[in-house]
Structure 1
Amino acid sequence: MTVAGRALPEGRYGKPPARRSRRATTLMIAAGLAVGGVVAYLAYQNLGTAPIEAERTSFSNLPGNQMQLVFDVTRETPDRAAVCIVRTRSLDGGEGGRKEVYIAPGPDRVRVTTVIVSSTEPVTADIFGCSYQVPEYLSTTQPPTG
């Protein structure tokens, strides 16, 4: 090891670190880029544009701890059925009621009206989320069993 042209004593500073070969450096950079690409792809899939968007239009209290919610659903794939989970909130912010709403295949933008029953007096309602993964028990296309 040298500093400004002078050789440093080996016993004091140890042996100089071994240099990595260009091939090892190139492989490490390629592996880092590959891992970064996979992380970016997964982030885009999970955090990118939602294939289904829901927007609350209005809500109103009904007698008996019920709330009517009106919302618009916009889908990228309107020929597929969807499900939206809606809920009510109480004054303290806690969830009072929850409901799954089936959205049948149809136009790409649909207005939906539903009533949510709450265990406490509701003060607001919102859309928790929407998905194309419709549970079988919600699908109206399934023939009745029994």
Structure 2
Amino acid sequence: MSSSDGVSDQPKPQSGPRATYPVERSPSSRRRWFIVASIAVVLAGIGVAYLGFRNYGDPDVSGEATGHEILAADTVAVQYTVNRKSPGNPVACVVRARAQDGAEVGRREVLVPAGDQQQVGMRSYVHTSRRAVIGEVFGCTTDVPPYLKPEE
């Protein structure tokens, strides 16, 4: 027999083309790797989708400014709407005022008391350190600090 028919009793060469280029894998081995890689890609996609929904999905509470009024050089009235999934729980929102250059010149934490409506309209007054040009809602949370009291 010759070595060209693929059958040889000789040991594998340590150098040369046969040592450099390994023998091809069987089709079943390639298929197995394809299936394993496909499952890994699908699991990674599910993981990314879960993290994205958890971080950027529908929040438990959100606040959106609907208007503001500059009352004086040191006071801004901010009107906003708070949307919450559980209206029976109180919510804390941070309302702020910003100057022409974008700097925050006033901030106030506000308690939105528990109620029976998912959407609540609010108006808060923010005292500023200098003239503000806008009032806005910085954010809302369901983690209400113990020192927060209802507005008077």
TM-score by structure 2 length?
0.74
Question: Which residue of structure 1 lines up, in the alignment, with residue 128 of structure 2?
Answer: 118
Aligned-partner Cα distance in 2 for 1:98–1:30: 49
TM (norm. structure 1) is 0.76
1:41 maps to 50
Mapping of residues 11-50 of structure 1, within 5 Å: 14-15=21-22, 18=25, 20-50=29-59
Q: Would the alpha carbon gap of residues 22 and 124 (structure 1) be closer, same or farther in structure 2, given more than 3 Å must change?
A: same
The residue that corresponds to 2:100 in the other structure is 91
Q: CA deviation at 1:55?
A: 2.5
Mapped pair 1:67 → 2:60? no
Point out the structure with max Rg over C-alpha. Answer: 2
CA RMSD, 1 decimal = 2.5
Structure 2 CA distance for aligned equivalents of residues 136 and 25 of structure 1: 55
1-side partners of 2:24 and 2:72: how far apart? 78
5+ residue gaps, structure 2, are: 1-15
Which of 10, 33, 40 is residue 17 of structure 2 equivalent to?
10
User: What is the CA-CA distance between 1:95 and the residue it aligns to?
Assistant: 1.1
Matched residue SS, 1:45: helix
| Unmatched 5+ stretches in structure 1 | 1-8, 141-146
The alignment-based identity, stated in percent, is 29
* Inter-partner Cα distance in structure 1 for 2:149 and 2:89: 11
Q: What is the Cα deviation at residue 102 of structure 1?
A: 0.8
